[in-house]
Every structure is written in C-alpha cells, then in structure tokens.
Chains A and B, each alone.
Chain A
Amino acid sequence: MQWHSASEFFAMGGYAGYVWGSVGACALAVGIESWLLRRRHRRLVEALRRRSGTTPGTPASDHASDHASDRRETTA
C-alpha cells in the first residue's frame, strides 16, 4: 500500500487534476458509449416492433418507417 491517508491518495502528490482527469475522462467515455449503444438498441427494437405490428402492405406507413430505418447513424 502506497498511501497513509485517503486525502494523500486523492491528492496524487499534487497531480490530482491530471491523474483523476485522465481516469475520469476514460470512465466517462466508456460510460457514455455504453449508454448510447444501449439506447440505440432499445430504440431500434421498439421501432422494428412497431413496424411489424402494423399491417404489411399499407403503403403510406411502410414508406415512412422505411425511410427512418434506412438512415444510418454513425455517431454511436
């Protein structure tokens, strides 16, 4: 064990902002990406379920949902 107290641990020998900033940035990025992926999955499944629920062959609704699902997101 390197530390004598909790405050010494969090101070990181004066480098607290740099060290915790780095660790925090990584944790935040991983957390946000996981959340975005799950949200996109949930929305996709919901949209696909709604579509299979409507009667196939209704041209107006078919066209509208096709357009939405064909657009590919690349951010998440």
Chain B
Amino acid sequence: MKDIFRTRRMWRPRGELKRRYDVVVVGGGAHGLATAYYLARNHGITDVAVLEKSYIGSGAAGRNTTIIRSNYRTPEGAAFYQQSVELYKGLSRELDFNLLFSQLGHLTLAHSDRALITATERAEVNQLLGIESRLVGLDEIAKLCPELDLSTEVTWPVLGALYHPPGGIIRHDAVVWGLARSADRRGVEIHPYTEVTGIERANGRVTGVRTNRGEIACDAVVSATAGWSTLVADLAGVPLPITTHILQAFVTEPLKPFLDVIIVSSQMHVYVSQTDRGEILIGAEIEPYTTYRGTSTFPFLEYSARHVLELFPQLESARVLRQWTGLCDISPDFSPILGVTEVAGFLVSAGWGTYGFKAAPIVGTTLAELVATKRTPALIAPFALERFSTDTLVSELAAAAVSH
C-alpha cells in the first residue's frame, strides 16, 4: 500500500557493462529474469548480468496468453508444472508485486471420443500426482460456464471436459517486472538493448560473450531466448532440434464480465479467457510454417472468429481491438530442452513452444540450482538435450497442442 503514495524506482537505470560476471543470462524475459532472480535469492550468486536485445519482456513473456496450469499428460511434465503453479501462487507475496494471478479454473473441452480418452488420461495422471484435475460432464460444464454453447446440433458438440480448478491467468508483464525488480534489488544487473553477437569458448568451455556494447568474460551462459534459441545456441556451436513458428492472438475491446473460466478447445484450435481489464483474449494453434517474421495474418482472425463463435455465439458483436504474434520454439516432442549442452557452461532453456511462460518460476529455480551446484535437478532430467540422441522423448503433443 505504501508504494502507491510514493514513487520508487523499480530497477536501477542501465549501467555500464562490467568486463566480467560470474553468470551471463541471455534474454530478459520471464525465464531469464527468473533464473537471475533465483540465482541471487536461493544461491547468493549476484554477480549476474541479464542481457536483453530489446526491452525486458519484449519477446514471448509479453506476448503469451498468460495461462498458468499443470494438467499435463506425461508424469514428467505434470510434476514439473505442478511445482511451477505452486511457485506462482506464492510469487506475488514473495516479490511484493501483485501479479494478478487468478485461479479461475481451466476447462479443456473434448469434442470427440478420442479427446475424452486424452482428457481421462490427463485427469488420471494428474490425480496420481496430487494435481486437482478431473473429467466433467455437460451438467458441470454448464454450471462452470453457462455462456458456452452446449447444443448438440453443431459440427463439433462438446462431449465433456477436463477441469483443472487451479488453472488461471496472470498479468504477464507484471511477472517480468516483479522478477526484474527483485533481481535488481538483490544486485543482478539488467541490461536492456544489449544484444549478444557471439559466445566465446575455449577447450569446450564457455569463456565469455560478445555484445553490441562490448565483450564480457564469464563462467556460465544461460540462454533463455525462446523463438531465437537456435540462433543463440548457434553462437555457442550447439545445434538445437528446434524450429521457430509464429503463434497469434488477439483481444477484443473490453467487455463487462462475461467469462469467469478459461476455455480451451483443441478441436476448435482456440482458447478463450477474459482479462481483468475485460478484454476477451483469444489465441490459436501455432502457424504451420516456420518463420522469424512476426507479422499478423488476417486468415488467423477469420478462422479464430469462426471457431470462437462456435463456442460463444453471443460474441458475434464483440470487436477485435488488437492482434499480435509471438515466436515459438518447437521441439520434436513438444517438451522443453532444459539444462546442460555439450559446451560446458552453456545452458539452455528452450523448446518451450507455446507453454514456456507457465514454467518461468520452476525453470528459474532449477536452472539456478544447476548453475550453482553444477548438478542437474531430478525434476528437469527428463528434459535434457541429450534425449534426442538417446531417443527418450517425452510426448506432450496431446496436452500441449492448443492447451495453453
């Protein structure tokens, strides 16, 4: 409360780059800042520079559709995200910054028998791991979301849903700013408009980075650059099995409360929520083509509108205010690539596809632990880059596709 009557800087103005840091984090998004924050908070490692080529939160962290959930399909994935949700729950207090995390509840609609099987499987896996998640029928869906069109005379009638009460939405920019503020206050340096142009190595080890503002020596580099992951990893000579696609979203003009739950439909390729400002926020599946060009397309608006109106015909007169795109780094098995690479000291958080944002705190804690202890935490072991050479993939396709 006191902070509303006085103006206090969130973070120090950008200073000069030092010649050396213990750790350099590439990417001033949610993952990079969380890693820096937890390095300082959990391990006392504060000689850290976060390098961001634009402003903080300018990439995926500020473009995602802000959904937080843990109802994944694989035990590995679900356990991981469960801890992320737990961390998010306490994060507003921890950072003393209201992230506006609203656990409204999350409904993944099933429009076919097969989707019901997947929903059942996720519910069962979730329940075994202690995650609140269950299959619900039409009666309960109607109670949770009376606005939803549940009639059967449509092409894709709703047959049931996976209900995940802890699922929610959060203010994504606030997560970035809150983490940046706390990291800065603990001594981490944040350098916006600082682009990494090279990664120095000697004897298979990282020794430093080159930037548009000069060279820095360091022992460890953590790359958390989402859609640009492959390009940054290339600088370290590490090929990543990732392709970059765009994902699009749009908001309508703000409306009075209409939707108090998050609706996801893989069949319709959409997910729908209402922000605290009242905008209806609608996202879709990634575009099938690979690109780094973040141009919004019109067909996206058309098919999303068509699908949204199948679920919510009453939104016919709602108006699209703004559309945008973000870059997604897609891995072959739709699971992330997290941790060490063949270059010692070069760590990655990549391959997040469409669901990196919800993992930010757990990525931060585990990567920080890895940097500090040089041991990979068990929780992220299944997501090692190495799995693509041993072919021990973690299939999240079923729960990742349009399940933001």
Decide whether A and B are members of one complex. Answer: no
Taking Cβ atoms with an 8 Å cutoff, the residues of A that contact B are none
Taking Cβ atoms with an 8 Å cutoff, the residues of B that contact A are none
